[in-house]
Chain A
Amino acid sequence: MIQLHQVCFSYGNKKVYDSFTMSLHKGSIYGLLGKNGTGKSTFLKLLAGLIFPDKGTITIGLFNPKNRHPDFLKDIYLIPEEFNLPDVKIDALLKYYAPFYPKFDKMKFDYYIKEFEVPIQHSFSQMSLGQKKKAIISFGLSCNTSLLLMDEPTNGLDIISKAQFKQVMKHTHNPEQCIIVSTHQAKDLESLITRVCIIDEQGMILDKNVEDIIHKLQFKFSQDPEEIERAAYVEEYMNNTKTIILPIDTPILDNKLDLEMLFKAVVTNKQFIQQHLQ
């Protein structure tokens, strides 16, 4: 569905992507992780056609995002980290903006707004940042676009709202949709994503299904010196207990992905992790 081929991109002299090639498919929720300045937001902007690659091609369905074709734009929605909503009430947003998106689902929107407890009688200028963010997330999810891009969606949300976000995202599974969520808050994504992508200065260093990861790596607490010795990644927890990532040959029940640990492991012990995930 989405194909990036030999994409090069730089901000002035600072190279962000050099001959970057990748495919993304519909029916998946991608969790995009990376350190600051490694190009997570840039990746989303390239896909949305907000910035153009210096070299290489990006194809999304039949379109090149650079052309900003209306048929492409009506099938993509970006929830940026810094967003702008017109100073109108929710009903005006539905009346004047929803018609641009032919697959917009009003019932879904009502459900999300209710779930998020967004005050519908207020205009956006009267809402808090968190309420606005929840409104734009609800709108973005209800557009049912084939590609939904979210840049740090949980920034600005309180603890309850983050739980509501997780709850809402669980109901969004759509086999015709590809969702890419870029975030630093790895914990917020753990139970939602189906594929993990980790970017660093060299480009995409990990792009694997969550299923594959938990079949090959075990995330656990351990005090066993032998296990700790074999671990691909070890982190001090408390009272001689350590959190470890252990390579395994056979899948283990109740093995839950710890995204934050995986990220740290990939960044610090890239080759070892990549070898085990082959």
Chain B
Amino acid sequence: MQAYFNFSRFKKLVFSHWTEYKKRYMLFILALFGIMLFGAICLLLIDGKYAADEELQYALFHFCWITSACIFSGTFLSNLNDKSKGITYILLPTSIFEKFLCTLLYTIPLFFIVFALIFYIIDIPFVAISNYIKYQDYLISHSINYVQYTNKFEPYKVISLFIDVKHQSNSYSMTTYKAFLQFFFVGLSLQAYFLMGSAFFKKFAFVKTILSAFVIMLFFTVYSFLMLKNNHVPERIVDNYFNTNPVIDTYYWICHAYVWYFKMGLGILFYIITFFHMKEKEI
């Protein structure tokens, strides 16, 4: 067991990693903060009174998190493809499992926490300013048409990442617990794919990862189209999950499991491939 994981060794690895990369990470955090702040200001300038709508806040949270997490992960293991850095990384006296765990620690929980902090630092004043603009608009409208505008002013709320499981909105809403989890797991899978790309591609890893993702998606699209066209799979065979008029009904859990595999399973598969690539990497 000591050969695979030792807490004291892991702690040393986490701190030495931070020592080595703190400048780069601080710059990344500053850049992310700057871009998100710029985006928030643009939204307020374009249409301030609708800018802090809860649906839009959730959409922005997911979009910004997934994009920045993919960029961060997409360069994380690039050391493995650099001769001098790779030698130092591989020969650092820790197990590959510890190096992999350290990678996961920085790219998933730590990144998520830092991102959420940046988001809230911007989002709280952003919502307040948007509410102020909305309230000014409400006052003007109310004073002109005081008879019609008798409804109470409803300010936007800062979104919560701890959504109540029982919270129900309409099925397409971004504010539900289910939607949040869907985006979260899709984000993790994409992150895993970009991490894998950073370990595999030698040069321009990030661009090559994006291109390879497009090639894979294109392949599956064409494959699915040809499968249906050639009637290998009868049309409308699947259950209500995908089709409102199925030929054959299947159990719901089968479809849910199928969707779960794509949502979570792919991410896990990418992480496993990355781990074994790290293990077998030769420099």
Contacts from A to B (Cβ < 8 Å): 45, 48-52, 68-71, 73-74, 76-78, 80, 82-88, 92, 95-97, 99-101
Contacts and interface: CB of A to CB of B under 8 A. Distances in A.
Nearest to B95: A70
B23 A96 contact: no
B87 A84 contact: yes
Given A50-B282, A50-B283, A83 B95 contact: no
Most central of A71, A92, A100, A101 by chain B CB within 10 Å: A100
A44 to B, nearest CB: 10
Given A70-B3, A70-B9, A82-B83, A101 B93 contact: yes
Contacts of A68: 90, 95-96, 279
A260 B16 CA distance: 42
Given A51-B282, A92-B19, A96-B15, A70 B93 contact: yes
Nearest to B97: A70
A50 B87 contact: yes
A196 to B, nearest CB: 26
Interface in B91-135: 91-96, 98
A116 to B, nearest CB: 20
Give the secondary structure class of B's interface: helix
Contacts of A96: 12, 15-16, 19
A73 B6 CA distance: 14
Interface of B: 2-3, 6, 9, 12, 15-16, 19-20, 23, 82-85, 87-88, 90-96, 98, 279, 282-283
A100 B12 contact: yes
A115 to B, nearest CB: 24
A236 B23 CA distance: 57
Given A84-B85, A86-B19, A50 B12 contact: no
Contacts of B91: 48, 50, 73, 76-78
A69 B95 CA distance: 6
Contacts of B95: 68-70
Given A51-B282, A82-B83, A99 B12 contact: yes
Given A96-B15, A97-B16, A73 B87 contact: no
A68 B279 CA distance: 9
Nearest to B87: A80
Given A50-B90, A78-B87, 14 more contacts: A48-B87, A51-B283, A68-B90, A68-B96, A70-B3, A70-B9, A73-B92, A74-B93, A78-B91, A80-B83, A84-B85, A96-B19, A97-B16, A100-B93
8 contacts: A50-B90, A68-B95, A68-B96, A73-B92, A82-B84, A86-B19, A100-B16, A100-B94
A74 B15 CA distance: 17
Contacts of A99: 12
B59 to A, nearest CB: 38
A239 B161 CA distance: 88
Contacts of A80: 83-84, 87
